[in-house]
């Protein structure tokens, strides 16, 4: 059956983000397990709780539409998860894995932010004010999480060949490569 209406597009995108959020639950649990930093581990656990809340909001939207919540495989999220599995084949040090996970999490957040913005636009066009409100809550959480990740990444120090670089040395190194 061909997709013909904005309602069908909204439903498709809602199923997609529902699938993405469910896939993310497992990934967040794995990253929390991999993390040796207590604060970062706590952050992944907190984001997992937020993700569970986002899933509940999506289920409320489906219910308001008179539908059972149904997930579609989210190719975007599956691609990001596959990217992580491929990276793991490189057998990164625990420190590099931690730094990679912070960057990978930022990619995920940006993907989710875009998905929620798109869903909000569709819901507004459909006059679904309750759905807009629920989606905006999730969007705000995703944006806050991205900001936290950016702050963590900017403070995270990765040793290069066993030597710690301070921020000035790192900036000098980055500048000389440009």
Q: pLDDT tens-digit profile of 53-73?
A: 999 999 999 999 999 999 999
Q: pLDDT tens-digit profile of 79-88?
A: 999 999 999 9
8 Å CB contact between 123 and 64: no
What's the predicted TM-score (pTM) here?
0.84
- Angle separating helix axes 38-64 and 94-125, nearest 10 degrees: 20
- Which residues, 6 or more positions from 78, have their beta carbon under 8 angstroms from its beta carbon? 23
Domain ranges of the chain: 6-177
Q: Is the CA virtual torsion 24, 25, 27, 33 positive or negative? A: positive
Question: Which of 3.40.50.720, 3.30.70.560, 3.50.50.60, 1.20.1260.10 would CATH assign to domain 6-177?
Answer: 1.20.1260.10
Half-sphere exposure of 169 (CA within 13 A, CB side): 8
In which band, very low, low, confident or very high, does the pLDDT at 169 lie, cut at 50, 70 and 90?
A: very low
């Amino acid at each position: 059956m061909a997709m013909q209406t904005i309602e069908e597009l909204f439903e498709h995108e809602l199923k997609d983000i529902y699938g993405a959020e469910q896939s993310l639950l497992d990934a967040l649990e794995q990253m929390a397990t991999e993390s040796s930093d207590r604060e970062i581990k706590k952050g992944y656990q907190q984001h997992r709780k937020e993700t569970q809340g986002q899933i509940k909001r999506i289920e409320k939207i489906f219910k308001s539409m008179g539908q059972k919540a149904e997930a579609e495989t989210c190719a975007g999220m599956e691609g990001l998860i596959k990217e992580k599995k491929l990276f793991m084949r490189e057998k990164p040090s625990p420190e590099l894995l931690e730094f990679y996970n912070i960057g990978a999490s930022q990619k995920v957040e940006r993907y989710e932010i875009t998905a929620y913005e798109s869903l909000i636009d569709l819901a507004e066009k459909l006059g679904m004010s309750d759905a807009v409100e629920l989606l905006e809550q999730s969007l705000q959480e995703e944006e806050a999480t991205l900001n936290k990740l950016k702050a963590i990444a900017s403070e995270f120090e990765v040793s290069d060949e066993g030597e710690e670089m301070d921020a000035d040395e790192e900036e000098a190194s980055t500048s000389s490569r440009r």
